Structure 1
């Protein structure tokens, strides 16, 4: 027996107070409707209607049952609507992690676009995460999507490179190199350097060391920091220079001059990643929005 159909028949009769009008409303014949109500009364174990030749009236039990029946159908309809929204990828919760440069250059535009296009998805954001931290967070479920620097291949994670970012020298505004239009790595050899932490497995640390190795010079590393904002703040304070991805210019701190690096020229990749076993529609809709925002900025 289809209980939901019985409930809909009951509600129609209760609201119309007439079997004929209720049958028309339900697009069915009157005799089968009467049978449905009798079966429902048999299931419940009480009479729900008082029937006369002219009208159909609810019993006291029927009036109480009507309130509950409406609530049940409302819940069923809400559940069906929510299931359809989930299948369409428009509801859910996602946590997104970002490396430092993406935090400043992309997160404002990305959060706006996600709010506009997926308003029923609850988003949270974690900025200033090193790539290694994001990979760990993806594995544990602490975040669902990562904007990071690609790491070694991991079959448990799906990674897609979104763009190449050129590297810049960030020097104190009063530094002698700030007057240059471009700066070579070898010109930084006599300048104290501020780098991302090697101990926290920063991808940028390896990139910077690689640049100096290729140039045949030894960097004079004086400070290691965990956050890009701290790194640029120390440059602004005159404590040294740094090598950063170009989007870090979005910080625009007073006291810092950003200049393109030349000879050797290198870029660093920005990628989006998620666990390979994640297939939810709202996650993949979010990935599409992220891809569009990154590639259009």
Structure 2
């Protein structure tokens, strides 16, 4: 007996949620129709998959036995779809539109991920759009970008994300600065000091995450449009100012003139890859899978170390 893969997908959705209503929402179908399709599958199989009463839905013993094989079928179908996309790409010249923050090249894992993807899929054209994270998120949501690397938290039910990298916040200042005598700098140590910052409107949540505690403690923020660039380092060297850094390491030739210390009152900054939850075009799906594979490899390496 052969079973329609669509019916298997419906069975898995109900088995995972134990709710016909929630499963119908996930599958974007009407609940009565979903119930009728599950009845159709049960009729084909010759036994009940679920125990239904007025209060709950539970798997029958046969349903419990079939849940694992059904999930394996769905994984195989996903692999089939990815393979088909890769074969189709060989015959096409698809375009992947991806957004990047202007300083994202400083995240080594982001650079390695796109280089890996370009090696695996040389026929895919990659169109890069630079912008600040809130703007990139809006463009992904609107559909003008397939995906984007963004800095900071992403809270949007229409989007899904993968964590690519995260970095602690450090303060950068001249080696002769009194702060160099400290092992860790706290906001109270920055009262009256000038900190180079980007404009708050460019990314308000990350601005608060980086500079909020210091500003409330009495630090003075000075807008610097060259954040974490070589020019930014020169601004630190030439004046009595401090830079707040979460990814840039001073070049070797400046390390005797510059000093970095952990900043106790700013949490780690995260770099994420975001995309819409709706169906993806093949090039975007392949890039997402490469990112997921890189994340799994990193998790395995951490477990082994």
| TM-score, length of structure 1 as denominator length | 0.58
CA distance in structure 2 between the partners assigned to 1:256 and 1:100 by the alignment: 23
Q: What secondary structure sits across from 2:263 in the alignment?
A: strand
Residues 1:249 and 2:252 are matched in the alignment:
no
Residues 1:114 and 2:117 are matched in the alignment:
yes
CA distance in structure 2 between the partners assigned to 1:261 and 1:121 by the alignment: 41
Could you say which structure has the larger radius of gyration? 1
Would the aligned equivalents of 1:195 and 1:231 in 2 still touch at CA under 8 Å? no
Measured at CA, do residues 109 and 87 of structure 1 come closer, stay the same or move farther in structure 2, by a change above 3 Å? closer
What pairs with 1:126-205 in structure 2 (closer than 5 Å)? 126-127=129-130, 129-151=131-153, 153-178=155-180, 180-205=182-207
CA distance in structure 2 between the partners assigned to 1:238 and 1:89 by the alignment: 57
Measured at CA, do residues 280 and 142 of structure 1 come closer, stay the same or move farther in structure 2, by a change above 3 Å? closer
> Who is 2:225 aligned against?
225
Q: What secondary structure sits across from 1:183 in the alignment?
A: coil
Would the aligned equivalents of 2:95 and 2:124 in 1 still touch at CA under 8 Å? yes
Would the aligned equivalents of 2:190 and 2:218 in 1 still touch at CA under 8 Å? no
Q: CA RMSD in A?
A: 3.5
Would the aligned equivalents of 1:173 and 1:257 in 2 still touch at CA under 8 Å? yes
> Who is 2:291 aligned against?
290
| TM-score, length of structure 2 as denominator length | 0.57
Measured against aligned partners, the alpha-carbon deviations of 1:240-269 in whole angstroms (never above 9, x if no partner) come to 212222x2227778354332223x362222
Measured against aligned partners, the alpha-carbon deviations of 1:154-212 in whole angstroms (never above 9, x if no partner) come to 23322233444211112234433245443223222232111121122344311133333
> Who is 1:235 aligned against?
236
> Who is 1:13 aligned against?
none
What pairs with 1:40-119 in structure 2 (closer than 5 Å)? 85-86=87-88, 92-106=94-108, 107-119=110-122
Moved more, 225-234 or 196-205: 225-234
CA distance in structure 1 between the partners assigned to 2:147 and 2:183 by the alignment: 37
- List gaps (5 residues or longer) in structure 2: 1-83
Would the aligned equivalents of 2:197 and 2:227 in 1 still touch at CA under 8 Å? no
Measured against aligned partners, the alpha-carbon deviations of 1:58-115 in whole angstroms (never above 9, x if no partner) come to xxxxxxxxxxxxxxxxxxxxxxxx9762378995211322234532223542342122
Q: Number of aligned pairs? A: 211
CA distance in structure 2 between the partners assigned to 1:291 and 1:253 by the alignment: 37
- List gaps (5 residues or longer) in structure 1: 1-81
Measured against aligned partners, the alpha-carbon deviations of 1:198-246 in whole angstroms (never above 9, x if no partner) come to 1223443111333336xx612211224375436445334436212222x
